[in-house]
């Protein structure tokens, strides 16, 4: 089954005045049709960089060192601006982290939603109806009246729903949600999770959810990709990740979850050490300096990616030598 999105050996550097930051190194992942895949990792793990690369919305100082990103077989990295624009919004759409800055303040949300439909030759009335229907689907009350209101007249939770509506309006094949609930409080987060679940019934595209929130990933995703400091360290189905995590980082991450406090220890557990400086990438395993199951080979040889069971990959010597 051809995957909707396939990231192959992607390496990206950021050029800074003090040197190159190797933000992504040899990243592989694939998204199949109608699947929800979560990318989880802490700040600096590269998860946002990966999805920005898919949309080709990286910062100016980013440079793709090697690798490919294939969307339905076509290499996104080789596309010209024209082709990309045809892709964005239509086939791949993105929901951003901060709802308060995601819509332009000087046009009503109705106008913005109609702007997105510019490629279709529809009448104004039809565009308006499409937009209102979409607003209804994401749960905006009084959508016909509020159609002409401006973004600042909506609350954060509403604006995130509007972002989702705008992303789904053209019925894309792939939806990327970059930290969709990070800027929202827990109640709003629960509402958005509920919304995603509802939408899933009617939306037949694939979804990528990027987050550092394990709980969100557990609620929504079918598969999980765990990233650390620019590398993919583990990929598995959601149950496998939570119950049978193979990589020491994933295990440590699960242990750090404050929701499980009291169950395991009385103190808030952390992972000792710091994320390494990506201008000087250390030899060996990227997690070696903080790993509690470290072996001799870990600091000298970069671990290969090993398949542990039918749908689970790990980049770790422990798994390789098992």
Of residues 45, 4, 47, 54, the one with CA closest to residue 178: 47
**Closest distance of CB 96 from another protein, Å:** 6
- 23/176 with CB nearer another protein: 176
How far apart (Å, rounded) are the C-alpha atoms in residues 174 and 143? 26
The CA-based angle 194-137-237, given to 5 degrees, is 40
Which lies closer to another protein via its Cβ, residue 27 or residue 183? 183
Min dist. Cβ of residue 47 to another protein (A): 17
Shortest spacing between CB 273 and another protein, in angstroms? 31
Strand-strand pairing, 206-211 and 223-228: unpaired
CB of 50 to another protein, least distance (A): 15
Nearer to another protein, 207 or 308 (CB): 207
Terminal-to-terminal C-alpha distance of the chain: 30
Are 20 and 14 a contacting pair, CB within 8 Å?
yes
Q: Which residues pair with 36 in a beta bridge?
A: 207
Encoding tokens for residue 25? Answer: 């190194």
Distance CA 298, CA 289 (A): 9
Cβ 20 to another protein shortest distance, Å? 21
Structure token pair of residue 237:
């189905």
| CB of 160 vs another protein, minimal distance in Å | 12
Residues of the shown chain interacting with another protein in the complex, contacts defined by CB under 8 A: 55, 57, 85-90, 93-94, 96, 98, 101-107, 115-116, 118-119, 150, 152, 163, 166-167
Nearest Cα to Cα of residue 208 among 12, 33, 79, 45:
33
What CA–CA distances, in Å, run from 286 to 117, 214, 269, 299?
A: 44, 21, 21, 8
Cβ closest to another protein, residue 150 vs residue 203: 150
């Amino acid at each position: 089954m051809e995957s909707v999105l396939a990231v192959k050996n992607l390496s990206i550097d950021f050029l800074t005045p003090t040197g190159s930051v190797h933000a992504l190194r040899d990243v592989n992942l694939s998204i199949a049709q109608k699947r929800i895949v979560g990318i989880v990792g802490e700040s600096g793990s590269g998860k946002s960089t990966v999805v920005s690369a898919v949309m080709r919305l990286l910062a100016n100082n980013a440079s793709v060192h090697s690798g490919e990103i294939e969307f339905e077989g076509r290499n996104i990295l080789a596309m010209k601006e024209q082709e990309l624009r045809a892709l964005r919004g239509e086939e791949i759409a993105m929901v951003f982290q901060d709802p308060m800055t995601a819509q332009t303040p000087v046009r009503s949300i109705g106008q913005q939603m109609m702007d997105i439909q510019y490629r279709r030759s529809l009448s104004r009335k039809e565009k308006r109806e499409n937009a209102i229907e979409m607003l209804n689907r994401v749960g905006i009350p009084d959508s016909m009246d509020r159609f002409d209101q401006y973004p600042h007249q909506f609350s954060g939770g509403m604006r995130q729903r509007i972002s989702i509506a705008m992303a789904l309006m053209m019925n894309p094949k792939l939806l990327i949600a970059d930290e969709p609930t990070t800027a929202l409080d827990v109640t709003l987060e629960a509402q958005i999770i509920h919304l995603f679940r509802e939408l899933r019934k009617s939306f037949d595209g694939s979804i990528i959810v990027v987050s550092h929130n394990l709980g969100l990933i557990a609620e929504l995703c079918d598969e999980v990709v765990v990233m650390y400091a620019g590398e993919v360290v583990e990929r598995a189905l959601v149950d496998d990740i939570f119950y049978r995590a193979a990589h020491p980082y994933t295990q440590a991450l699960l242990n750090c979850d404050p929701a499980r406090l009291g169950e395991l220890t009385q103190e808030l557990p952390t992972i000792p050490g710091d994320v390494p400086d990506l201008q000087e990438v250390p030899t060996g395993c990227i997690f070696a300096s903080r790993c509690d199951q470290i072996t001799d080979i870990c600091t000298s040889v970069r671990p290969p990616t090993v398949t542990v069971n039918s749908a689970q990959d790990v980049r770790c010597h422990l798994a390789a030598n098992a």
